[in-house]
Amino acid sequence: MKLSARAVQVQQQRMSQQQIMSLKLLAMGSLDLRDEIYGKAAENPALEIIGDSLERGTKTARESHSRFSDNTRYGSASAAGELASDNFQAALESHVDDRETLQEHLERQFNSMRHAPEEEALGLRLIHNLDVNGFHLLAPVSLLDKNNPLHTPAFLQECMEKIRALDPVGTCCSGTEESLFVQAQLRGDASDAVLFILDGHLDFLNPPQSAKVLKKIETFFQDRAVLAFTGEKESALLKRAQKEPFTEADIDAAISYIRTLEPYPARNFSSSEAHYISPDVYVERIPQTEEDEKNGLVEAGGYSFKLTLARESLPKIGISKNYAALAESEEKNAGERQKTEKRFVLDAIRDAKVFIESVQFREATIARACAEIVRRQARFFAEGPRYLLPLRQKDIAEAIGVHEATVSRMASGKYVQCDQGLFEIGYFFTNAVGSEGSGGDSGTNSKESVKYEIAQILQAHKDDKKPLSDQRLADALAEKGIKVARRTVAKYRAELHINSSYER
């Protein structure tokens, strides 16, 4: 059988070096880009750091001074000196968190005690196996050496108990519930009711109402009493309950006691990594004047805003004058070595230009995208989170003529500082929540605006004898033209870190 030949045309789109570099830099935050710029300048001699405001800020500004009879020096700072002072202050305020880490704190205490070599080695492994909350990362039993006969479960338990008794009390546990139980045991003044609740029955406290908790405990004891076999501990608890049952006062006192314990014992210590948040864009509301309109500021909804890119954390870059001169020079009768050097210079300059243009593309994209966000969320920037409207990344991409993935990279890890506070750019992209009536510019409300309304309603009813339930919250929102289901209200309330009506 003879096959007919067909011409197949395949269209492939390949990204240039500059496009790849541009997208890479676009996804970076200011601090990461700063490191990238210095790294690129170190490897490419044609790329020159022209200036760096943060570097200037760490140097002492010059001052003109005169000496009086009391040997006191007086002087006035210039505009450059004031700028240097402001930059230096910013550097101080963004200093790395140099508090002692949990591992350093525990290790110092542990090493001050006498231990056998095997105990010391295992103890240090346990300490460095703790997360930022002070709880195990890996299962402690996995740290035992199977080939060492001394490494038994009892030996492991003994080492963990020594670490748990160190300051802060209650680390080296599997989680919050075990940590609370350990803290209560070590304090030595916990009642039987406290120890029973924390020994695997913390869920009985949901909701933390004495009568309901007592009923759950009584039901538990009744169920265990009819079982054919019970553990030694459970048998003791059953006998204790039969001889002297818990009272509502016992449970009420237990709840109060448990609230004095620390669920996350390591919260006051530094984590091993420091994370900085630095604004990438500043948005300032200004009076609308004819002069402002000529400056190309963002205007929307009767408001006027000034957008400023945060360039102070980024060094200024350019092409090295020496390399530019070498590239333009013409040498007659140049040898092979001179030709090779000339090619190196030209390649270095070309790479430097690609990098500089990629940085400029990043700035332009962020500026255009944020300007469009401000236009669409003008009422938010003027009046607050209550007026945040639904917005998709696709909407911004279409408005500024780029792909949606480009907007996604632009928003990643970048922040906007405005009158309302510091927000991640992704905060302004929010889904729509249905509404009734004609309220709102688009007939819908954003998730954040609904959460804001929930917080405001709860604040207005905080003194009510009977806290608002989620259903009553949903009804109150409906009166405002916002129609959401009860379970959606419960979800948003939890995201606001507000307890349920049972716990308020």
pLDDT digits (tens, 9 = 90+) for 423-441: 889 889 887 776 554 343 4
Rounded CA-CA distance 140/153 in Å is 10
Rounded CA-CA distance 265/106 in Å is 12
> Half-sphere exposure (CA, 13 Å, Cβ side) for 203?
2
> Rounded mean pLDDT of 403-415?
89
Best CA proximity match to 259, nearest among 183, 173, 163: 183
Instruction: Please give the structure tokens belonging to residue 150.
Output: 């001394």
Rounded CA-CA distance 187/170 in Å is 11
Rounded CA-CA distance 267/134 in Å is 8
**Residue 246 and residue 214 in contact, taking contact as beta carbons nearer than 8 Å:** yes
Rounded CA-CA distance 103/124 in Å is 9
> Rounded mean pLDDT of 136-142?
81
- Exposure of 226 by Cβ count < 10 A (0-12 exposed, 13-18 middle, 19+ buried)? exposed
**Residue 440 and residue 389 in contact, taking contact as beta carbons nearer than 8 Å:** yes
| Beta pairing partners, 165 | none
Rounded CA-CA distance 427/448 in Å is 9
pLDDT on residue 94 = 46
> Rounded mean pLDDT of 308-322?
88
DSSP 46-82: TEEEEE-HHHHHTSPPP-EEEE-TT--EEEE--HHHH
Residue bearing the bigger pLDDT, 11 or 419? 419
State how beta strands 47-51 and 316-319 pair.
antiparallel
Banded pLDDT at 181 (limits 50, 70, 90): very high
> Position of tokens 């790329």?
47
pLDDT digits (tens, 9 = 90+) for 205-241: 888 888 888 888 888 877 766 554 444 445 565 566 5
Write the single-letter amino acid at 237. L
DSSP 82-128: HHHHHHHHHHHHT----SPBHHHHHHHHHHTS---HHHHHHHHHHHT
Write the single-letter amino acid at 378. A
pLDDT on residue 369 = 95
**Residue 421 and residue 429 in contact, taking contact as beta carbons nearer than 8 Å:** no
pLDDT on residue 434 = 62
Query: Which residues 6+ apart lie within 8 Å of 227 measured at CB?
Result: none
pLDDT digits (tens, 9 = 90+) for 77-121: 455 555 555 554 554 444 444 567 888 889 889 888 888 888 888
State which H helix or E strand residue 418 sits in: strand 415-418
**Residue 385 and residue 420 in contact, taking contact as beta carbons nearer than 8 Å:** yes
pLDDT on residue 57 = 43
Highest mean pLDDT among 70-74, 342-346, 448-452, 497-501: 342-346
**What is the value of pTM for the model shown?**
0.52
DSSP 357-377: HHHHHHHHHHHHHHHHHHHHT
* Mean pLDDT lowest among 17-21, 58-62, 362-366, 368-372: 58-62
pLDDT on residue 75 = 42
Q: CA 166 → CA 132, 134, 161, 189, distances in Å? A: 16, 12, 9, 18
Rounded to 5 degrees, φ, ψ at 176 are -60, -45
Best CA proximity match to 26, nearest among 410, 356, 425, 355: 410
pLDDT on residue 10 = 47
pLDDT on residue 82 = 55
Rounded CA-CA distance 75/125 in Å is 57
* Mean pLDDT lowest among 9-13, 221-225, 264-268: 9-13
Tell me: cis bond preceding 385? Omega within 30 of 0 counts: no
> Half-sphere exposure (CA, 13 Å, Cβ side) for 480?
19
Banded pLDDT at 47 (limits 50, 70, 90): very high
Best CA proximity match to 208, nearest among 177, 180, 248: 248
